[in-house]
């Protein structure tokens, strides 16, 4: 399996939880109460699986290797992807602050939570499309077999050494649990642990 295929599989899990997050925000606005537990679970998933694990593999491993091959870190696609990762972090921070405000009794913060959710979902869905259909194809053309193996080893290091050996699977299971709770299709065919093949 190529490194880009691993990243694309992770995208399917991320999309699955984005669909759950969308439902959490919609229900919060329509019902006037926020499912704080599910919101916090989704935010935790995005902070640790989507950002620390998935974006970590891209920013620490894939992007630097592509830049060694001549991709411009400022003007090229890796620079754009980094900027979008940063924007995503701002939205997750906004969600976190809004949930804390709701817990403190500010029901108006449900709207703030939902607006951060909508912006984050729009950003990530477009971001994933760019990576799946442009950047990863460019990467597969630019990287030889030795590069690919080096990336696979680096990805394993991120998962096991940086995050801890059980962390990746823990968040796959959280994604499956949220999907079941909100009736969202399990899109991750090979790595979500929900039994779909």
Q: Where do the structural domains in the chain lie, given as residue ranges?
A: 3-182
pTM for the whole thing? 0.93
Which of 158, 168, 45 is CA-nearest to residue 95?
45
pLDDT at res. 142 = 96
Query: pLDDT tier at 68 (50, 70, 90 boundaries)?
Result: very high
Extract long-range pairs of 159-167: CB within 8 Å, 24+ residues apart: 159/53, 162/52, 162/56, 163/48, 163/52, 163/53, 163/56, 167/48, 167/53
R_g of the chain, CA atoms, integer Å: 17
**Which helix (H) or strand (E) covers residue 24, if one does?**
helix 3-31
**Half-sphere exposure in the Cβ direction for 25 (13 Å, CA):** 22
Q: Mean pLDDT in the chain?
A: 93
Query: pLDDT tier at 86 (50, 70, 90 boundaries)?
Result: very high
CATH of domain 3-182: 1.20.120.520
Residue 29 and residue 31: Cα distance in Å, rounded?
Answer: 6
**Which helix (H) or strand (E) covers residue 88, if one does?**
helix 77-103
Query: pLDDT tier at 186 (50, 70, 90 boundaries)?
Result: confident
| Residue 194 pLDDT greater than 80, yes or no | no
């Amino acid at each position: 399996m190529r490194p880009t295929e691993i990243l694309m599989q992770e995208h399917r899990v991320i999309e699955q939880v984005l669909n759950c997050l969308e439902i959490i925000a919609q229900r919060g606005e329509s019902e006037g109460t926020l499912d704080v537990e599910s919101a916090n679970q989704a935010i935790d998933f995005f902070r640790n699986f989507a950002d620390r694990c998935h974006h970590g593999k891209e920013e620490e491993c894939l992007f630097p290797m592509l830049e060694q091959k001549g991709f411009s870190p400022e003007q090229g696609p890796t620079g754009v992807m980094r900027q979008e990762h940063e924007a995503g972090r701002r939205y997750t921070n906004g969600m976190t602050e809004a949930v804390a405000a709701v817990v403190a009794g500010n029901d108006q913060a449900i709207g703030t939570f939902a607006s951060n959710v909508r912006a984050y979902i729009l950003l990530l869905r477009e971001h994933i499309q760019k990576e799946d259909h442009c950047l990863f194809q460019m990467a597969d053309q630019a990287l030889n077999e030795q590069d690919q193996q080096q990336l696979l080893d680096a990805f394993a290091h991120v998962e096991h050494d940086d995050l801890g050996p059980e962390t990746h699977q823990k968040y796959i299971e959280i994604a499956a649990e949220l999907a079941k709770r909100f009736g969202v299709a399990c899109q991750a065919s090979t790595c979500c642990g929900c039994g779909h093949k």
